[in-house]
Amino acid sequence: MPATSSIGSFSFIKLAGNPEAIKMAIEVVERKGIDGFEAWNTGFRGREFVLESVVDQATQTKAQELMSLYTRSVGSTQRLNWEGSFFGNVLILNVSQLQAQALASSTGGIAGGGAILRASWTLRTVS
């Protein structure tokens, strides 16, 4: 199974969630005792969003090493490829391990499938 989603050089079997594109931000102001409201156009910007990645590794040790690489990428800007297409550049705000577990058996995958690594990525689109 070829990987179709990636964050920078990290490819995934599955990348789930809803990436947020850069869009116009609006600030709504309401004042007590005054009818109506005001809406301010505050410019185009990305919003924070979370994606969950799944990838296989040859061993559980390799999965832990990969998680360490994920952690070192926090604070960097990387390309997000979503389902085979370039989505945009994202700032990696945080990465958390959800699961790193040896598998009894598997077929396919990216790295042979001796272990699985699931991670949660907190991202913000920057361009």
Question: Rounded CA gap, 79 and 22, in Å?
Answer: 14
What is the value of pTM for the model shown?
Answer: 0.81
**pLDDT confidence of residue 101:** 76
CA distances from 97 to 22, 41, 66, 94, 101 (A): 27, 37, 10, 10, 11
Contacts of 76 (CB under 8 A, 6+ apart): 8, 91, 92
Encode pLDDT of 67-121 as tens digits. Answer: 999 999 999 999 999 988 999 999 999 999 998 777 655 555 555 668 999 999 9
Neighbours of 78 (CB within 10 A): 18
